[in-house]
Amino acid sequence: MAAINDKILLVEDEPQISSFIGRGLEHEGYTVIKAVDGETGLDLAFSELPDLIILDIMLPGLDGLTVCRQIRDAELQTPILMLTAKDAVPDRVAGLEAGADDYLVKPFAFEELLARVRALGRRRAPIESDAPLHFADLTLNPTTRMAQRNERVIELTAKEYDLLELFMRHPNQVLTRDQIYDRIWGYDFGGESNIIEVYIRYLRSKLEAQNEPRLLHTVRGVGYALRES
Ligand code: CA
């Protein structure tokens, strides 16, 4: 899958490094969201659901290792590239143990960073694009773009598929209406349209056609979540 328009969360407190990385990635076509401390980084990892996180180890407040651990403890599988100032083995090991996918030692050339970012994108791509997704008795097959509940095959329209895939990739997680809008319709939500409600209704009627238990739940005032009850 092309890296173009992939959303990258950059958690780095040093302004010069942050702007050097940010500008370079934007020039390559990535969308870059920035945080300058660990807590904001952690919040944005969940609220923005980036495709990749570039995480500095030395941060004010929560350090990068703690942020990484908390992301993994919450079972968010976003690829994480750690940045470390020291070429110290303990730092690298700690980063990988905390759940990072790769690390890069400062100072580095932008091309090095870009190579790692692309490699992480490639590593993720086959898993995300082809392997069937499972949740409870529901299966979604990205190759055929069909869903199945137990043995019952469910045909989906393109938008229904995209919406269900988003939930299947973020199970047990509340997705806000803004996040859904941004990911499925690709522009900011104005707050007027009820298109999400309409599509959720379509999906529920297909997923529950045989009175199967509800999987797509409304979280009042927030959004929706794929969960078992
Ligand atoms: Ca730093």
The proportion of the chain whose per-residue pLDDT surpasses 90, expressed as a percent, equals 59
The sign of the torsion formed by the CA atoms of 52, 101, 128, 42 equals: negative
Nearby residues of 82 by Cβ (< 8 Å), 6 or more positions away: 55, 56, 57, 64, 68, 95, 100, 102, 103, 104
Q: Which strands sit side by side in the sheet containing 174-176, from one edge to the other?
A: 174-176, 223-226, 216-219
* Ligand 1 centroid – CA 15 distance (Å): 9
Cα-Cα end-to-end distance for the chain:
34
* Ligand 1 centroid – CA 198 distance (Å): 45
Q: Which tens digits make up the pLDDT trace of 90-111?
A: 777 788 888 898 888 888 999 9
Average pLDDT on 3-31 reads 89
Residue 125 reports pLDDT greater than 80: no
Question: Does any domain span residue 189?
Answer: yes
Residue 205 reports pLDDT greater than 50: yes
* Ligand 1 centroid – CA 166 distance (Å): 33
Q: Are 11 and 117 within one domain?
A: yes
Q: Are 75 and 111 within one domain?
A: yes
How many domains are contained in the chain?
2
Average pLDDT on 116-138 reads 77
Question: Does any domain span residue 1?
Answer: no
Cα–Cα distance for residue pair 112/129, rounded to 1 Å:
26
* Ligand 1 centroid – CA 85 distance (Å): 8
Q: Are 37 and 105 within one domain?
A: yes
Q: Are 114 and 12 within one domain?
A: yes
Residue 190 reports pLDDT greater than 60: no
* Ligand 1 centroid – CA 65 distance (Å): 12
Distances (CA, A) of 95 to 31, 47, 151: 25, 23, 42
- Residue 47 three-state SS: helix
Q: Are 87 and 149 within one domain?
A: no
Question: Does any domain span residue 127?
Answer: no
- Residue 131 three-state SS: coil
For residue 157, what is the domain's CATH number?
1.10.10.10
For residue 55, what is the domain's CATH number?
3.40.50.2300
Question: Does any domain span residue 2?
Answer: no
Q: Are 13 and 86 within one domain?
A: yes
Largest CA distance in the chain: 58
For residue 170, the enclosing domain spans 133-226
